Amino acid sequence: MSRRESAARVGIHERTARDWDRGVRKSRNSRFYPDGRRVDYSTGRVTMESMTSPPPLIAEAIGSRLLSLAEREMIADLHRAGSSLRAIGRELGRPASTIMRELARRPGSDARYLPHAAHRDAAAQRVRPKPALLAAPGRLREYVSAGLGRQWSPEQIRNRIRAEFPDDEGMRVSTETIYQAIYVQARGGLKREIVDALRTGRTRRKPHRSPEHRTSRFVDPMVMISDRPAEVEDRAVPGHWESQ
């Protein structure tokens, strides 16, 4: 398509499309050129300024397991060319179900799939870090604070709160959440009441690793008795005898 046809299809002026092709950026009454020139149309002045590219409005890739902007552009091109969901999936190395869900991001049943808009929506819908459960004041936080003041352990607080509020889903907290709240609050130096609340007296959280991730007590691998060589049985060599 020609530049005029493309600009008309997008809904912009042809001069704006030409500026985009040439890397010209417009801000209010000024135009910034790739060579560093800044033309201020309100004063008619032309100055030279360092050109720093503006931050992108949307990230190129949200995550390795999620679709990138380039993949969404390819989906739009292949779908417009009439390729099937499986064919698009094979081209991208993605399941056909992923392509189907992605094409469902269209604003209407008869609307076209717009890759940049879909990528922007996907970035906006990402899971953001949630505020800490015990950071906001409320009944749950007051109950936990009162329990720590009574020298209850986090495990006791978790069990007691379930027993006292069996039907209240808002009064639920895990042991790890309580520990994290204690250590975050105490960061930079433990307060006296925090020290009293910790029975172990540790100033840092001790990680609890699963058995397969724990450090072995022995450097060399353990040798079973059943794996002893046969010459040990006749005890002909000094050192094969067991002492009492």
| Domain edges within the chain | 3-48, 69-124, 139-197
Q: What is the DSSP letter of 100?
A: H
Q: Looking up tokens 């309100």, which residue turns up?
A: 42
Quote the pLDDT of residue 188.
Answer: 42
Contact 69, 57 (CB under 8 A): no
Q: What is the radius of gyration, based on Cα positions, of the chain?
A: 33
pLDDT digits (tens, 9 = 90+) for 35-79: 677 888 778 777 776 544 444 445 555 556 788 888 998 999 999
Please name the residues in contact with 112: beta carbons below 8 A apart, sequence gap of 6 or more: 76, 80, 106
Quote the pLDDT of residue 57.
Answer: 45
Phi and psi at residue 15, in whole multiples of 5°?
-65, -35
Phi and psi at residue 191, in whole multiples of 5°?
-75, 160
pLDDT digits (tens, 9 = 90+) for 182-210: 776 554 444 555 656 666 666 566 656 66
Mean local confidence (pLDDT), 146-166: 88
Which range among 15-24, 116-125, 154-163, 220-229 shows the weakest confidence by mean pLDDT?
220-229
Q: Looking up tokens 């040439």, which residue turns up?
A: 22
Quote the pLDDT of residue 89.
Answer: 92
| 110 pLDDT higher than 70 | no
Percent of the chain at pLDDT > 70 equals 70
Quote the pLDDT of residue 66.
Answer: 82
Token representation of residue 122: 């996907």
Strand partners, 45: 40
Percent of the chain at pLDDT > 90 equals 14
Quote the pLDDT of residue 203.
Answer: 57
